[in-house]
């Protein structure tokens, strides 16, 4: 049976989904109070569900918003994994794989995975954060050798001098040469999302220089790499995303 890809977007935890209606009605102070409550609730849930190395990594993130986004992403990932495996989230132990540090419950960075009651859970996972959102991909009971990577990008974050030189191959730079303004940022983000999805799938991440990875449409040797439209991810239309699923 072909392995089935599941993609889920989880919204910024600070902004409730019906925030547009709420925002008009709430004063700034009430809004801040609501955010404090949400942050407290997330802290409580994190302490209850996340593992020691995950909490330790969260403590090492000094910027509060980045720390909140880290915790929100790890909670969303664990809940998705538990729902797909039909087990309580507390039965899972985070087990990451880093190309330098190895694999195990003591590793809190790299390719995500879980142990289920001590054995590797039959699940491929990938995670990306952009503009406060968490994008998750999963495959339950994957075929042997299958690997997965997902990435989301905010085009606004590609608006800096030197992006093309560091990130793009010569062919990609040529392809973007006629573009400017919003279309240039959109095209940069599209290529960047494809590269990161691919490099998460291979597991090397940015240890592989991104300007050596050609991801133009039709590029050779990138079977399983494709763009993900907002209708498939649930992300806002201004964000771009890509997934790589191959062996």
Ligand X SMILES: CC(C)(COP(=O)(O)OP(=O)(O)OC[C@H]1O[C@@H](n2cnc3c(N)ncnc32)[C@H](O)[C@@H]1OP(=O)(O)O)[C@@H](O)C(=O)NCCC(=O)NCCS
Chain positions contacting ligand X, by CB under 6 A: 70, 73-74, 98-101, 109-112, 127-129, 151, 196, 199-200, 203, 205-207
Nearer to ligand X, 187 or 210 (CB): 210
Edge-first strand order for the sheet with 119-120 is 92-94, 114-116, 119-120
Nearer to ligand X, 19 or 208 (CB): 208
C-alpha 172/C-alpha 170 separation (Å) is 5
* Min CB(16)–ligand X separation in Å: 22
**Quick one: DSSP state of residue 91?**
G
Nearer to ligand X, 34 or 42 (CB): 42
* Min CB(173)–ligand X separation in Å: 20
How far from chain centre, in Å, is Cα 62?
A: 20
C-alpha 169/C-alpha 215 separation (Å) is 9
C-alpha 138/C-alpha 146 separation (Å) is 12
Nearer to ligand X, 174 or 209 (CB): 209
- Reduced to 3 states (helix: H, G, I; strand: E, B; else coil), residue 170 is helix
C-alpha 111/C-alpha 88 separation (Å) is 22
* Min CB(210)–ligand X separation in Å: 8
* Min CB(180)–ligand X separation in Å: 25
C-alpha 115/C-alpha 128 separation (Å) is 21
Burial classification of residue 37, based on how many CB atoms lie within 10 Å of its CB (0-12 exposed, 13-18 middle, 19 or more buried): exposed
Nearer to ligand X, 70 or 163 (CB): 70
* Min CB(18)–ligand X separation in Å: 26
C-alpha 157/C-alpha 159 separation (Å) is 6
Nearer to ligand X, 8 or 109 (CB): 109
* Min CB(136)–ligand X separation in Å: 9
145: left (phi over 0), alpha (psi -120 to 50) or beta: left
Nearer to ligand X, 26 or 131 (CB): 131
* Min CB(27)–ligand X separation in Å: 33
Q: Which residue is nearest to ligand X (CB)?
A: 205
């Amino acid at each position: 049976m072909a392995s089935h890809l599941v993609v889920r977007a989880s919204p910024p935890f600070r902004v409730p989904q019906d925030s547009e209606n709420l925002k008009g009605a709430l004063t700034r102070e009430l809004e801040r109070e609501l955010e404090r409550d949400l942050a407290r609730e997330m802290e409580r849930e994190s302490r209850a569900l996340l593992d020691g190395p995950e909490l330790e990594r969260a403590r090492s993130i000094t910027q509060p918003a980045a720390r909140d986004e880290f915790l929100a992403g790890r909670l969303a990932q664990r809940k998705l994994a538990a729902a797909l495996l039909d087990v309580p989230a507390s039965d899972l132990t985070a087990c990451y794989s880093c190309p330098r540090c190895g694999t195990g419950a003591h590793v809190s960075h790299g390719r995500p995975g879980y142990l289920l009651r001590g054995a590797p859970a039959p699940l491929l996972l990938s995670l990306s954060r952009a503009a406060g959102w968490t994008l998750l991909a999963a495959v339950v009971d994957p075929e042997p050798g299958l690997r997965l990577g997902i990435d989301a990008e905010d085009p606004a974050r590609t608006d800096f001098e030197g992006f093309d030189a560091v990130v793009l191959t010569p062919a990609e730079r040529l392809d973007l040469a006629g573009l400017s303004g919003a279309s240039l940022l959109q095209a940069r983000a599209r290529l960047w999302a494809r590269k990161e999805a691919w490099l998460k799938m291979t597991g090397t991440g940015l240890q592989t220089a991104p300007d050596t990875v050609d991801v133009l449409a039709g590029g050779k040797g990138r079977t399983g790499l494709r763009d993900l439209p907002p209708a498939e991810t649930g992300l806002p239309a201004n964000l771009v995303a890509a997934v790589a699923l191959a062996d």
